[in-house]
Amino acid sequence: MKFNVFTEMEYVVKSASTLILNINALRTQHQTVLSEEFTIDPYIKTEELPATAGENRMVRFEVDKPQTIKVTYKATVDNHYKTVDYEGLYETAVAQFDHSIIPYLYPSRYCQSDKLYRLANDMFGNIVNPFTKVIAITDWIYWHVEYLSGSTNSETSAFDTVTERQGVCRDFAHLGIALCRALTIPARYFTGYAYQLQPPDFHACFEAYISGEWILFDATKLIPLNGMVKIATGRDAADTAIANIFGDADLTSIVVSCEPAEDGFEAFNYGPVDYKGISYL
């Protein structure tokens, strides 16, 4: 399915600064960027950085004097996904994981799976099927954590979220990841453009590695799972931040959109136990 994605961000830069933005649609085997345009007004030379943690297409540029800049990104993206029948999935032994999967089992800055081991095993450890186990995790988060805009900040971790029982999409994703890792299910943070998200914004969810597939889960249940355009994946939000600013610059406005580029799109909404998993590969 093809999507048109768009971002416009305005920054007031108060002194010489370097900005690293992570808003470009990711190029993968199953997500093709058909066309894209990244511009800065007034013009500033940019550099795309190679990914060193997770998957991303970060763009770096320097603003050498105080000024207001406008960053615009637009792209047409063709992404392919498949549905996965959870009944046929099995749990993979850690000894069989490829080395690239292992880092997604470890605790990370925002996903302290070691602190949540007892909680995860008490609540979900008796579920045998790994897909059903992750569905149970996402359902528990949905019903027991209040989605509340502005309730958390950049320091909020999964442990904080399970304690305070409130958060936004980033916090829901971190908690899902931490609980999965506590149950020896590799999990990673997923950020992207999301169709039908209200209000429009970037969206965070997570992928769990089950039976050789990275399968998408979203405990917020705010968007259709097949309406995502992937920007980045990583251990947690530290690897996938939309912006890193080195200097003195303030984001003063942002516009984000994601719309189908062709007719016939059918939203695949999150369902109950009969839900079939989405894999973007």
Kindly report, residue by residue over 142-161, the tens digit of the pLDDT.
999 999 988 888 899 999 99
Amino acid residing at 172: F
pLDDT score, position 281: 52
How large is the average pLDDT for residues 73-99? 88
Within the chain, which residue ranges are assigned CATH 2.60.40.2250? 2-79+242-260
Return d(Cα 11, Cα 69) in angstroms, integer.
5
pLDDT score, position 272: 42
pLDDT at 273 over 50: no
Q: Is the peptide bond before 66 cis (omega within 30 degrees of 0)?
A: no
Specify the CATH number of the domain 2-79+242-260.
Answer: 2.60.40.2250
Mean pLDDT of the chain: 92
Q: What is the pTM of this model?
A: 0.93
pLDDT score, position 83: 81
pLDDT at 263 over 90: no
How large is the average pLDDT for residues 13-26? 97
Instruction: Answer whether 159's CB lies under 8 Å from 112's CB.
Output: yes
pLDDT at 125 over 50: yes
pLDDT score, position 91: 85
How large is the average pLDDT for residues 55-70? 96
How large is the average pLDDT for residues 236-247? 95
pLDDT score, position 276: 61
Return d(Cα 136, Cα 209) in angstroms, integer.
15
Q: Helix crossing, 169-182 with 117-124: angle to 10°?
A: 80
Main-chain dihedrals φ then ψ at residue 71, nearest 5 degrees:
-105, 130
Residue 216 pLDDT grade (very low, low, confident, very high; cuts 50, 70, 90): very high
pLDDT score, position 84: 79
How large is the average pLDDT for residues 175-187? 98
Within the chain, which residue ranges are assigned CATH 3.10.620.30? 82-239+265-279
- Domain 82-239+265-279 -> CATH class: alpha beta
